[in-house]
C-alpha cells in the first residue's frame, strides 16, 4: 500500500461487516486511524437479511488493528443524531482530528410497490436519508474546526442514478443521498471539504445473500420483464466489497483533491442504458 492516508482519521458507519468493514480495513492499511460505528443489532422489520452483531464489529476492530492503526468502535444507530455526535467527539478527542467521513450504513428491503407499508417507507427513509444526514452533521464541524479540509463520501447506489426494481423506498432514498452529496458539496466547499457520492451495483455482502435473494426472486415473479434492468456491460455481475473500497479510498485521498459534487458509479456500466 502507498500510505496515501497517513496521519488521517476516518469516521465510517455500518462498519461491522461488508462494505463498511472493507472501507475501514483499506483506509487503515493506507495509514488512517478509524472511528467505526454500527448498529450491530436489530434492523427494521422490512429487512429480510440478518443484522450485524457486536462480534462482527469486534472483528472489524481486530482487522484494523492488525494493520498497525488505531480504531475506536461504538454500537450506534445512525438515526441517533446525538449518539453519533458523542462518538465522533470522543474519537476526535482521542485521535486529534477528523479528515474523512464515509456514510456507508443503510438498509435495502425488496418489496413490490403495493406491499410497502407506511412504516416500511418511513424506516427506509429514516435510515438511508436521515441517518446519512446525521452522519455528515456529526462530523462536518469537526472537519471545519480542524482547518485542513477533508473528504465526505456518501454511499448511494446504482439505484441513486437509475433505479432498483421492486424497491421504491430504497430508490427514493438513494436518489436523495445523491442530491444530498451535491448540496453539501456546494456549502462545504469554502472550507476545502469535498463531498461526493459512490454508486455501487450488486456487491457480495450479507445484504445480498440468503433471504435477500429469496425476497428479490419473489418480487421479480410479479413483473419478470424488469429482471434485466441492471445488466452490466462487463462480465463480472457482482463486485467484492474491496472493489468499492478502491474508489472510496481514492476519494478520501489527495489524489482526488479537485473532485467534488460528483457521483461515481461502480456498477460495471449497468446504469448507462
DSSP 171-183: HHHHHHHHHHHHH
The single residue of 49, 170, 258, 273 carrying the catalytic annotation is: 170
Dihedral of the alpha carbons of 119, 124, 126, 127, in degrees to the nearest 10: 140
Return the SS3 of 253.
coil
Residue 126 pairs with which residues in a beta bridge?
none
User: Which residues, in sequence order, are bridge partners of residue 100?
Assistant: 10, 151
Its sign, for the CA torsion 110, 111, 112, 116, is negative
Closest CA to 25 of 244, 238, 264: 244
Neighbours of 255 (CB within 10 A): 12
Is 258 annotated as catalytic? no
- Dihedral angle over CA of 57, 244, 145, 142, nearest 10: -30
Q: Which residues are known to be catalytic? A: 170
Amino acid at each position: 500500500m502507498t500510505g496515501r492516508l497517513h496521519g488521517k482519521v476516518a469516521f465510517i458507519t455500518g462498519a461491522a461487516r461488508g462494505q463498511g468493514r472493507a472501507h475501514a480495513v483499506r483506509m487503515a492499511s493506507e495509514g488512517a486511524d478509524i472511528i467505526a460505528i454500527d448498529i450491530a443489532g436489530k434492523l427494521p422489520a422490512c429487512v429480510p437479511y440478518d443484522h450485524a452483531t457486536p462480534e462482527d464489529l469486534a472483528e472489524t476492530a481486530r482487522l484494523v488493528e492488525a494493520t498497525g492503526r488505531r480504531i475506536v468502535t461504538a454500537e450506534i444507530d445512525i438515526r441517533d443524531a446525538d449518539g453519533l455526535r458523542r462518538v465522533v467527539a470522543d474519537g476526535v478527542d482521542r485521535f486529534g482530528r477528523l479528515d474523512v467521513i464515509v456514510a456507508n450504513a443503510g438498509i435495502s428491503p425488496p418489496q413490490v410497490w403495493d406491499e410497502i407499508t407506511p412504516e416500511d417507507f418511513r424506516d427506509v427513509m429514516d435510515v438511508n436519508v436521515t441517518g446519512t444526514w446525521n452522519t455528515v452533521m456529526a462530523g462536518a464541524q469537526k472537519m471545519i474546526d480542524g482547518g485542513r479540509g477533508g473528504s465526505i463520501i456518501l454511499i448511494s447506489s446504482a439505484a441513486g442514478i437509475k433505479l432498483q426494481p421492486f424497491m421504491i423506498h430504497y430508490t427514493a432514498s438513494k436518489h436523495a443521498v445523491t442530491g444530498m452529496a451535491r448540496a453539501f458539496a456546494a456549502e462545504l466547499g469554502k472550507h476545502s471539504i469535498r463531498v461526493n457520492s459512490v454508486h455501487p451495483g450488486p456487491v457480495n455482502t450479507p445484504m445480498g445473500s440468503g433471504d435477500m435473494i429469496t425476497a428479490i426472486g419473489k418480487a421479480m415473479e410479479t413483473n419478470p420483464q424488469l429482471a434485466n434492468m441492471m445488466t452490466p456491460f462487463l462480465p463480472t455481475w457482482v463486485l467484492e466489497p474491496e472493489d468499492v473500497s478502491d474508489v472510496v479510498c481514492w476519494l478520501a485521498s489527495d489524489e482526488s483533491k479537485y473532485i467534488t459534487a460528483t457521483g461515481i458509479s461502480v456498477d460495471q456500466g449497468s446504469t448507462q442504458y
